[in-house]
Amino acid sequence: MLDEANLFRPNIKLVRQIGSSVSFFDVQIENKSGTLLTSVHHKEAAEPYVITFTPNHPKHVFTNVSYTALLRAIRYSSTLSTFESERCSIKLMLLYNGHSPRFIQYILCCQ
């Protein structure tokens, strides 16, 4: 059945995996003693690049990218500590891409 599913969409490959954790699209799911914990999955090869902060882009583009990352963290984090860790990752990603600390404070605290 899995082989047939892989033929249906050639650019999406499903793999067999046995273990206590699995990543599915952007979600990391882990089974800890019968309790399912979820978090945002970050691909190992992915770079932390988003739209760099330059005046060439409208302000709403930066806000939407940041807001979407924060919303993903809220939806996929099953515990508060997982959410706080993801929130820290978002802050570092925005700093890495040249966003101002004032903008980051607005996105992470006032939304």
Per-residue confidence (pLDDT) for residue 93, from 0 to 100 = 86
- Please report, for residues 11, 47, 88, 99, the alpha-carbon distance to residue 104 in angstroms, rounded to integers and kept in the order given: 35, 19, 11, 7
Per-residue confidence (pLDDT) for residue 75, from 0 to 100 = 92
pTM of the complete model? 0.70
Per-residue confidence (pLDDT) for residue 48, from 0 to 100 = 64
For the chain, the 3-state helix, strand and coil shares in percent, each to the nearest 5, are 45, 15, 40
Instruction: Give dist(CA 28, CA 35) in Å, integer.
Output: 13
Per-residue confidence (pLDDT) for residue 110, from 0 to 100 = 62
Per residue in 9-40, pLDDT tens?
778 777 777 778 888 788 999 999 889 999 99
